[in-house]
Amino acid sequence: MCGGDAEHRMTDENQMPGVTREGSSPEGGGAGRPLARRRLGPEDYVRGILAGDRAILARAITLVESNAAAHMDLAQEVVAGVLPHAGNSIRVGITGVPGVGKSTFIEALGTHLCEQGRKVAVLAVDPSSTVTGGSILGDKTRMERLSRHPNAFIRPSPSAGNLGGVTRKSRETIVLCEAFGYDTIIVETVGVGQSETAVRAMVDFFLVLLLAGAGDELQGMKKGIIELADGLAINKADGQNKVAAEAARLEYSRALHYLKPGSSGWRAEVFTCSSIEGHGIPEIWEMIVRFREQMTGTGAFSARRQTQRANWMVEMIEQHLYDSFYSNPSVREALPEVRAAVLEGRLTTSAGARDLLRRFYETSRLEDMVAGL
C-alpha cells in the first residue's frame, strides 16, 4: 500500500472541454504523452476539486476508476476528503433500450438545464463496455452541444470490470462531481440488463424512456423496470409518431395505476417528448423538480439516500469477498476441474462448493487479508 503518497500521472485534462475520457493507465502516462506531470497528494486533489479545477476533477475520477491497488488508498482519501461537500444535487437515472434515445434526451435535457444556469454532470454506467469505452464514444457526437457547454461535464463509463466495480466507481464519481459543484447528476444506463437496478440504487429519480408502437406497448413491464420508475417518457413523439406516442402515454398511465410506485408517496407520471425537437423536455424536468420538493417535504428524499448509503456498504462487503475468493490462485486453478466434475455429476454441487471454499480458506493468510483492507 502506498498510502497518501501514492503518486501517478494522468492524462485526462488533454481532452476536449466537456468530455473526459477514461485514463486507462493512470500509472503509464499514456503513449506519447509527457511523463513528467506534477504528482498530487490527496489534499491537492481535494483542494483542486473544491476550487473548481476541471483538470483535477478529471484526474481524480481517473484515480477512482483505476483498478491498481496502489491507487485505491489515495482514491479513498480523496473521496473521503470531499465527502462533506457532496450530496447537494439531484441525481437522475435514465434508462431504456438501446436506440430509444437516452443520449439524445440527455443532450436536450442537459442543455436546457445548463442554459438555466444549472451545472450538469453526465455519467454512464455500462458494465459491458470494453477498453475503448464502447458506445460512449458514439455518444460523444450525440452530446456534442452539451459537451461544449461550460456548465456541463460528460464522463464515459469506466471500462472493464464487473457490475460491482463499475457501480463503485460511478458512485464515487458522483461524490467527486457534487463536491466540485455539479448540482444535477445524470446517469445513463448503457448496458442492457443488470445495470438498471444498479443505477436505480444510486439515483434519486429514475426515468424510463420508451418508444411508441414498438409492438408490445407495455414493453419493459415484464422486466420489472417500469416498477422502478418515478417517471416515464415516450420519446420520439414527433412527426408521424405523435399520435402513437400519445396513445402509448395513455396506456402506460392506466397501467401504472395497478403497479406499486417506484418511490412510496409518489405516483409516477407519463409524458411524451421529442429529444430532437425538444418538446416535452421542460415538462419532464418540472416533474423531477416536483418530485424533489414533495419527497424532501416528507423526508423520503434523504431517507432514500441514507438507505442507499447503507446498501452500498453491504454491496462493497459482498464485492470484496467475491473478489478475494475468485482471485485466489488455488481457487482459480481448481475451478474449471471442480466445475466440470459438478457438471458431469461426479461431484455433488455442495461438495464442489465446499471443496473450493476449503481451498480458499487453506491458502488465505489472515495477515494478507487484513493487509489488503
Residue from the set 11, 195, 235, 328 that interacts with ligand GDP by CB under 6 A: 235
Residue 331-370 contact track with Mg ion, rule CB under 5 A, x = bound: ----------------------------------------
Query: Is residue 95 at the binding interface for Mg ion, with CB under 5 A as the rule?
Result: no
Residue from the set 71, 142, 155, 169 that interacts with ligand GDP by CB under 6 A: 142
Min dist. Cβ of residue 223 to ligand GDP (A): 16
- Per-residue CA distances from 139 to 11, 90, 343 (Å): 21, 22, 42
Residue from the set 8, 21, 102, 359 that interacts with Mg ion by CB under 5 A: 102
Min dist. Cβ of residue 135 to Mg ion (A): 6
Q: State the binding partner of 336 from ligand GDP, Mg ion, none, CB within 5 to 8 A by kind.
A: none
- Residue 130, classified by CB atoms within 10 Å of its CB into exposed (0-12), middle (13-18) or buried (19+), is exposed
Query: Is residue 167 at the binding interface for ligand GDP, with CB under 6 A as the rule?
Result: no
Residue 21 or 142 having the CB closest to ligand GDP: 142
DSSP state of 234: E
**Which of these, 121, 90, 146, lies nearest to 285 by C-alpha position?**
90
Query: Is residue 103 at the binding interface for ligand GDP, with CB under 6 A as the rule?
Result: yes
Query: Is residue 79 at the binding interface for ligand GDP, with CB under 6 A as the rule?
Result: no
Min dist. Cβ of residue 100 to Mg ion (A): 9
Residue 25 CB neighbours (<10 A)? 16
CA–CA gap between residue 354 and residue 348 (Å, rounded): 10
Query: Is residue 110 at the binding interface for ligand GDP, with CB under 6 A as the rule?
Result: no
Grid cell 450538469 — which residue?
A: 120
Alpha helix (H) residue ranges in 51-143: 54-65, 69-82, 102-115, 135-142
Do residues 62 and 23 touch, judged by C-beta distance below 8 A? yes
**Which of these, 203, 208, 231, 230, lies nearest to 219 by C-alpha position?**
208
Residue from the set 24, 157, 274, 328 that interacts with ligand GDP by CB under 6 A: 274
Min dist. Cβ of residue 188 to Mg ion (A): 6
Residue 9-38 contact track with Mg ion, rule CB under 5 A, x = bound: ------------------------------
CA–CA gap between residue 173 and residue 37 (Å, rounded): 22
